Amino acid sequence: MNKRFRYTALGLLTAASLLLTACGGQGAQQNEHGEHAGHEDHEQTSGELQPIMQIKDFTLTNTANQPVSIEKDLTGKAKLVYFFFANCPDVCPVSHARMANIMKTLDENGLKKEDVQFVSITVDPENDTPDKLAEYMKQFQADPNEWAFLTGSDEDLAAVRDQFGVLAEKHSIHDISHNDRIFLLDEKNQVMNSYNMSDGITNDVIINDMKKLTNL
């Protein structure tokens, strides 16, 4: 892989990830924490996908209160990873609904469920217990074997966010500024692309990138 591309892409990804979307409350109305950079800043839009950065193994807790390792347990040639919180009143349920739609249309888009893994990671462990996440995921008809909703300690979750370059700033139970961005990982847990869900990205773009990874 071209080193110059790798470091340029990584730098742009990190810079874009530092910009936050506020969920609910005054932050959402005034967007006081800034808009996302446009996806054209770093998203790969055509041709072969190249690794942007490597995600190291981490272990969090699923809705069955069991430890889950992204390397050992969350297998799949294409993984979609999203950071959220269950009390989010706006962007999180919208992005989760779009992920649910992608999951429902895998077959018609030529993707096998066994090749795909969805992962949603809370930024609010104080409120998002395994039981609460088990209830929350029902609204998206999420199968826990295909879509993992994960929580953990403040320390463990912060370490995971650091790997992805994701920030979260809590103002109240319904107002946490965080990145409304889905990350696409390959089977080696390399970030291959990411999508600003607040910037008009279409499901077709995500699905086509998933195909590039599952058809290797």
**Annotated binding residues:** 88, 92, 178
Concatenated DSSP letters for 74-114? S--SEEEEEEE-TT--SHHHHHHHHHHHHHHTTGGGT--GG
CA distance 25 to 182: 23
Give the distance between the most distant pair of CA atoms in the chain. Answer: 45
Contact indicator for 173, 88 with CB cutoff of 8 Å = no
Residue 90 CA, chain-centre distance (Å), reads 16
Question: Annotated binding site for Cu cation, which residues?
Answer: 88, 92, 178
Query: SS3 for 145-178, per residue?
Result: CCEEEEECCHHHHHHHHHHHCCCEEEEECCEEEE
